[in-house]
Amino acid sequence: MSEAAPGLAKRARGPGQRPAYYWIAPPPAVAAGFRPKTVRLADTLSDAEMASACRILQAEAREWLARGNVERPAFDGSLRRLMDLYQTDRELSTFGRLKPQTRQEYARIMRILQREVGERQLSKLTGRDFQRWYASFRAPVEEGGPERPARAAAMMDMIRVVMNYGVVAEVDPRCATLALILRKMRFEGARPRQSYLTADMVVAFRKAAHAHGKPSMALGMALQFETALRQRDVIGEWVPAPAATPGPLAGTGKRWTTGLVWGEHIDADLVLRKPTSKSGGRKLAAVDLRLCPMVMDELEHVPAERRVGPVIICEGTRQPYTAWWYSTLWRKIADKAVIPAGVCNMDARAGAVTEANEAGVDLEHLRALATHSDAAMTQRYNRVTMEKTAEVMRLRVARRRRNDT
């Protein structure tokens, strides 16, 4: 299965025969009553035609769910069915209001839970069961391997969410008891990350990106490190959309959003003002890019006539990156730049804040850089934030120069 052909599956046939290909409907749609569950794809279709058929069928399933054509499944007392209800209840469940990436991650975790413990009856569950499940989810994949506390904590958090939904929707009286038990229990998660990107790592990455023929990756890395923006706010993300959505990807069930756009977020004077996605647009990152030497170096590779539309464009597709492809390329380039395997793209933000802290930036200015403080998106907010981030950049650049001497 891939983004190009969502829901595609193949089944082996007899020796020497071509596999049979099927489209499989999304589990939430099937749980809500969508039919057909599977569609046999004709053997005469090319790979491109099969991918196109899968995208059309996937979009139809999503539109069906969006229209609210939901047959509420009866509750049979199992954790599996409670999760089905959570994913299909249009009124009381928060699932449909989640951001697309979060919704996909929730659905992935619930698929694992349904497979491993979904048949358990709520009436039989106790706190001992939850503690035992946590230990099982945390266990290493192989004997002697590392434990997986982050995975285990995410699983238990998902059970909490679903059980709380069961209370609100009055699915079963037992949900209230189990929700209370879970509220009293503590499940250790992953320790906070200690890794961060340094300015030298970013310089090495940019050099390797150009050698790899990916100046867009070099610009993306420079923007993340200098502005402390998250990856999603720089490169954007592809989210599900109705098949009728206009644009170059019409009919694919996808649309691009949240990323930097020339003219909208970066003006002619190279001043960046970007509502942050994590805050739902309530907070604004404001940075004068002319004070960001790494960004200015990379912008020399972007002539004025190309400063239209999304800022970060994949050289191969001439479209914004998908998160998966960007992460894959980032790691490949990071390996070429000899960046340790434990350091990730997400550590650019920590690197920006760490560098600023070591340069002597005070806490209030650091909060402005990281957009951690609440503020209204007004002209006064823009001016104050610009003054603070300008001071941050001056101190960060001065520190780099001292380190180079």
pTM of the model: 0.61
At residue 246 the predicted structure's pLDDT band, cuts being 50, 70 and 90, is low
Residue 271 exposed, middle or buried by CB count within 10 Å (0-12, 13-18, 19+):
middle
- The per-residue pLDDT for 96 is 85
Indicate the range of 31-40, 174-183, 264-273, 357-366 predicted with least confidence: 357-366
Q: Is the pLDDT of residue 249 over 60?
A: no
Give the residue from 50, 71, 92 where a domain finishes: 71
Considering only 54-68, 132-146, 187-201, which range has the smallest mean pLDDT?
54-68
Query: By residue range, what is the domain housing residue 26?
Result: 1-71
Band (pLDDT 50/70/90 cuts) for residue 388 is: low
Distance CA 233, CA 221 (A): 12
Task: State percent of the chain over pLDDT 90.
Answer: 45
Residue with tokens 């059309």: 56
Query: Are 299 and 352 part of one and the same domain?
Result: yes
* 40 and 106 part of one domain: no
Q: Which range, 60-64, 232-236, 358-362, has the best average confidence (pLDDT)?
A: 232-236
Residue 13 host element (H or E): none
Whether 79 and 67 map to the same domain: the answer is no
Listed residues 71, 87, 111: the one ending a domain: 71
Q: Verify that 251 and 342 share a domain, yes or no.
A: yes
112 shares its domain with 19:
no
Q: Pick the more confident residue, 192 or 305.
A: 305
Residue 314 sits in the same domain as residue 251:
yes
Look at residue 261 and give its three-state secondary structure: strand
CATH of the domain at 216: 1.10.443.10
Task: Say how far residue 195 (Cα) sits from the centre of its chain.
Answer: 19
Stretch 118-139: mean pLDDT, rounded?
A: 95
Specify whether 352 is located in the same domain as 225: yes
Q: Average per-residue pLDDT in the chain?
A: 84
**pLDDT exceeds 80 at position 290:** yes
- Residue of 29 and 162 predicted with greater confidence: 162
Domains contained in the chain, number? 3
Residue 173 has pLDDT above 80, yes or no: yes
Orientation angle between helical segments 79-88 and 149-168, nearest 10 degrees: 70
Cα gap 372→358, rounded to integer Å: 19
The pLDDT of residue 112 is above 60: yes
What pLDDT was estimated at residue 278?
A: 79
99 pLDDT band, cuts 50/70/90, is: confident
Banded pLDDT at 368 (limits 50, 70, 90): low
Residue 64's pLDDT band (boundaries 50, 70, 90)? confident
Digit-coded pLDDT (tens) for 20-42: 888 888 888 887 777 778 888 87
- Residue 273 to residue 266: CA distance in whole angstroms: 7
12, two tokens: 């082996």
Q: Would the pLDDT of 356 be above 80?
A: no
**Residues 258, 231 within the same domain:** yes
pLDDT of 375 > 70? The answer is no
pLDDT, residue 386, reads 60
How far is the C-alpha of 56 from the C-alpha of 45, rounded, in Å?
14
Nearest CA to 332 out of 319, 320, 321, 341 is that of: 341
Residues 173 and 221 in one domain: no
3-class secondary structure for 366-380? HHHHHCCCCCCCCHH
Q: Could you tell me where the DSSP H helices lie in 190-230?
A: 199-211, 215-227
Cis ω on the peptide bond leading into residue 275 (within 30° of 0)?
A: no
Check whether 45 has a pLDDT greater than 80.
Answer: no
Domain end point (choices 71, 94, 114): 71
User: Do 244 and 307 share a domain, yes or no?
Assistant: yes
